[in-house]
């Protein structure tokens, strides 16, 4: 395969890029996690603070990484950033964790959430939850394998589609709801109160903003486009999340949201719009998750592709191939789909999402710190974008992320060890591959 055949096509513009940020962030989390956040925080007031703090951490991280991405506008996102700043080993470990744990686990969790809501909406037997999820993951994997423009089209349409039910819940929830929002107890006594766990749950809902960097090599003008897409997308998402949670608390008591769990948003919609209207909103929620899942499947394989291009994965020759007709990383996409389906069979979505977020935040901290290193390393370089309020914003991102990592180790030590263990396993793999090179 010659170089012309093996080049990714630059087909992504600003609209698709912003749609990727919003679409890959707003998915299942805003509908699946409110009950978990309230239960972990102990009540509605602290739960709202958890959503605000999660948004601040995410926005600070996005503003910081936007400067890095503008200086390193290459396909691969976090993996490439850490390799450029810290060297091959740290880049490899971050890519290894993303390729083996983070990407497949997020895809698997979203697929299972989709199957869960689909089965509930259509009154199917619960045993079909996993199969519906698997079929959906396979379908979107196929769509994104036959062309980036098709995956991008699905992303843009689903992003617009998902904002309709969200807007309706916000507008009518704030208008028609009459429950107290602040000071409401969670109603559970068997869950240890932990703001760290509450913020971790919100970060799953906020996660996805860095994925747009994975397709920088397929953007028309990544130096300018990438920072703008991250900032605009995250600002929209943060405002939406807070409004959705306030609206839901207006309609349902905090303890009811906890009890209903993943079905709280659908129940709130039924109260606001009746059974038929509630079902239509539930369909909109499914569209939201579908679009989010599509964004993950579009972007995650780019990490595998970027690593394989550098010979840093087993079977790199195969995984680095771009399909000669479709112009997509076909085999890299297939690898993520296979791992995700295995995880769907052996685990549950809440655990998968917690492990995935903890694992990636270990490396997000390094990415946030990298902005200081790059400024010191390149003091005279002209930047097309600079993080505002430097160094305050990067410090907020580092402190907030560090709090989440430490809290997760204390609250969920076994899950934390799984993520750390897989990262450590990557070291001998890296050394073996280096010796072969």
d(CA 433, CA 144): 29
Q: Output the pLDDT for position 373.
A: 93
Could you give the domains of the chain? 14-435 (1.20.1740.10)
Please report, in tens digits, the pLDDT of each residue of the chain (437 residues total): 333 334 555 556 777 777 777 766 776 677 778 888 888 888 888 999 999 999 888 888 888 887 887 777 666 678 788 988 998 899 889 889 988 888 899 899 889 989 988 888 888 888 888 999 999 999 988 877 776 565 566 666 666 667 777 888 888 888 887 888 887 877 776 667 778 888 888 887 887 776 555 555 566 666 667 777 777 888 888 888 999 889 989 888 888 888 888 778 878 888 888 877 777 777 877 887 887 788 788 878 888 887 888 787 887 778 877 766 666 778 888 889 999 999 999 888 878 888 888 888 889 899 999 999 988 888 877 776 788 888 999 999 999 889 888 888 888 888 889 889 988 998 998 888 887 65
Q: Output the pLDDT for position 217.
A: 57
Stated pTM of the model: 0.77
């Amino acid at each position: 395969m010659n170089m012309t055949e093996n080049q990714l096509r630059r087909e992504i513009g600003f609209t698709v890029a912003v749609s990727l940020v919003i679409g890959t962030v707003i998915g299942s989390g805003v509908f699946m996690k409110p009950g978990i956040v309230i239960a972990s925080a102990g009540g509605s007031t602290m739960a709202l603070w958890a959503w605000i703090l999660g948004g601040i951490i995410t926005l600070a991280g996005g503003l910081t990484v936007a400067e890095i991405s503008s200086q390193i506008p290459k396909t691969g996102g976090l993996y490439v950033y850490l390799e450029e700043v810290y060297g091959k080993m740290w880049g490899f470990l971050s890519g290894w964790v993303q390729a083996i744990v983070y990407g497949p686990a997020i895809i698997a969790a979203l697929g299972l959430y989709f199957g869960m809501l689909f089965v509930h909406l259509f009154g199917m037997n619960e045993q079909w939850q996993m199969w519906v999820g698997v079929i959906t993951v396979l379908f979107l994997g196929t769509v994104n394998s036959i062309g980036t423009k098709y995956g991008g089209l699905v992303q843009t349409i689903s992003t617009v589609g998902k904002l309709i039910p969200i807007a309706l819940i916000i507008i009518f929830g704030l208008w028609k709801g009459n429950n107290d929002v602040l000071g409401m107890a969670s109603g559970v006594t068997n869950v240890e109160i932990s703001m760290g766990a509450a913020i971790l749950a919100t970060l799953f809902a906020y996660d996805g903003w860095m994925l747009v960097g994975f397709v920088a090599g397929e953007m028309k003008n990544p130096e300018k486009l990438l920072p703008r897409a991250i900032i605009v997308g995250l600002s929209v998402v943060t405002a939406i999340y807070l409004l959705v949670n306030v609206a839901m608390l207006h309609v349902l008591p905090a303890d009811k949201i906890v009890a209903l769990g993943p079905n709280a948003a659908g129940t709130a919609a039924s109260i606001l719009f009746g059974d038929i209207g509630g079902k239509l909103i539930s369909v909109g929620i499914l569209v939201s998750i579908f679009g989010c899942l599509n964004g993950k499947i579009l972007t995650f394989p780019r990490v595998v592709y970027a690593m394989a291009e550098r010979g840093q994965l087993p079977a790199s020759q195969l995984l680095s191939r771009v399909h000669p007709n479709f112009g997509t990383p076909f085999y890299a996409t297939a690898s993520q789909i296979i791992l995700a389906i295995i995880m769907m069979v052996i685990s549950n979505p809440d655990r998968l999402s917690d492990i995935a977020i903890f694992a990636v935040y270990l490396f997000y901290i390094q990415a946030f710190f990298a902005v200081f290193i790059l400024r010191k390393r390149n003091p005279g370089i002209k930047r097309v974008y600079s993080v505002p309020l430097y160094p305050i914003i990067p410090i907020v991102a580092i402190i907030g992320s560090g709090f989440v990592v430490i809290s997760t180790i204390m609250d969920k030590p076994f899950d934390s060890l799984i993520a750390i263990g897989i990262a450590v396993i990557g070291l001998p793999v890296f050394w073996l591959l280096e010796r072969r090179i």
